[in-house]
Structure formats: structure tokens, C-alpha cells
């Protein structure tokens, strides 16, 4: 598949993001996962560099190829 055939991703969160625990803008991604049952979504695991709180941000990914 050529790059020009790919649809652009919708805008996602800009990092760092605000931590829901300490509210400081110090959340950075440390892992990204796809799920078999939700192929058009990705889960971004985020960790706060200040308080070390972790949480998941779910966002839209690429559309799966047609079957």
C-alpha cells in the first residue's frame, strides 16, 4: 500500500497531556496497543512524569483494510 493511499489520522492528543490525578501537563505515552475486537482503535498508555499515575487514552486508528 502506498503512503498516498493511507487516510490521515484524526487529530489526537498532543503530548504532554494533563494528568487526571495531579492536573500537571506531564503525561507522556509509554505504550500503544491495538485490540483485535476494535481494529479501528488504539489504546495509548500514558504515565505522568511527576506523580507516576498511569491511565489509558483510547483514540481512533487507521481504518482496517477491506476484507
DSSP string, 17-36: EE-TTT--EEEEEEEEEEET
Residue 42 lies in a domain: yes
Residue 4 within a domain: no
- Does 48 map to a domain? yes
In a domain, 32, yes or no: yes
Higher per-residue confidence, 62 vs 1: 62
Residue 6 forms part of a structural domain:
no
Would residue 47 count as lying in a domain? Answer: yes
The closest alpha carbon to 9, from 27, 36, 32, 31, belongs to 32
pLDDT at 29: 95
Which of 16, 27, 35 has the alpha carbon at shortest distance from 54? 27
In a domain, 2, yes or no: no
- Domain containing 50 equals 14-60
pLDDT in tens, 6-60: 566 566 668 899 999 999 999 999 999 987 887 778 889 999 999 999 999 988 7
Domain count along the chain: 1
Query: What is the per-residue pLDDT for 62?
Result: 65
Amino acid at each position: 500500500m502506498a503512503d498516498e493511499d493511507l487516510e490521515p489520522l484524526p487529530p489526537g492528543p498532543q503530548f504532554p497531556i494533563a494528568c487526571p490525578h495531579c492536573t500537571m501537563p506531564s503525561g507522556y505515552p509509554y505504550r500503544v496497543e491495538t485490540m483485535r475486537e476494535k481494529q479501528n482503535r488504539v489504546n495509548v498508555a500514558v504515565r505522568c512524569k511527576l506523580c507516576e499515575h498511569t491511565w489509558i487514552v483510547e483514540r481512533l486508528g487507521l481504518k482496517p483494510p477491506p476484507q
